[in-house]
Amino acid sequence: MSNPMKELYDTIITRKDAHAEGSYTNYLFEKGLDKILKKCGEECSEVIIAAKNNDHNELVMEISDLLYHLTVLMVHQNVTVEDINAELEKRSLKSNNLKQFHSVDKNS
């Protein structure tokens, strides 16, 4: 069975290790964490705009871009697909875990 996220992760690792000239992935790694974080933020904003505009095709493309940049961040920070899968598995076992938000008294 194909696992597109794992394949993307492996491709990003390969491109990082290859130092291929002209590779956008390699460019992001060369620029470092701040550039990767900036791109993640930009793509997140574009996802929000596409969703707000109710544009399905644009939303699919922007989510794909966001997932790519998040995967670059994962590789940069040594977070594996298996780490994410394990966390998602843990969360899927929980129920009735609605987070309670507390108001903060700014006068104290």
Residue 38 lies in a domain: yes
Q: Give pLDDT tens digits for 6-47.
A: 999 999 999 999 988 899 999 999 999 999 999 999 999 999
Per-residue model confidence (pLDDT) at position 2: 83
Nearest to 10 by CA among 86, 35, 18: 18
Residue 14 lies in a domain: yes
Domain of residue 46, CATH code: 1.10.287.1080
Residue 92 lies in a domain: no
Percent of the chain with pLDDT over 70: 87
Per-residue model confidence (pLDDT) at position 7: 95
Q: Give pLDDT tens digits for 45-55.
A: 999 999 999 99
Per-residue model confidence (pLDDT) at position 92: 85
Residue 21 lies in a domain: yes
Identify the helix (H) or strand (E) that includes residue 8.
helix 4-18
Residue 61 lies in a domain: yes
Nearest to 47 by CA among 59, 31, 39, 29: 59
Q: What is the pTM of this model?
A: 0.84
In this predicted structure, the answer to whether residue 71 has a pLDDT above a threshold of 80 is yes
Residue 105 lies in a domain: no
Residue 39 lies in a domain: yes
Q: How many domains would you assign to the chain?
A: 1
Helix, strand, coil shares, percent, the chain, to 5: 70, 0, 30
Contact criterion met (CB below 8 Å) for 35 and 28 = yes
| Of residues 97 and 12, more confidently modeled | 12
The range of the structural domain enclosing residue 53 comes to 4-81
Per-residue model confidence (pLDDT) at position 94: 75
Contact criterion met (CB below 8 Å) for 9 and 71 = yes
Contact criterion met (CB below 8 Å) for 26 and 15 = yes
Alpha carbons 53 and 10: distance in angstroms, whole number: 33
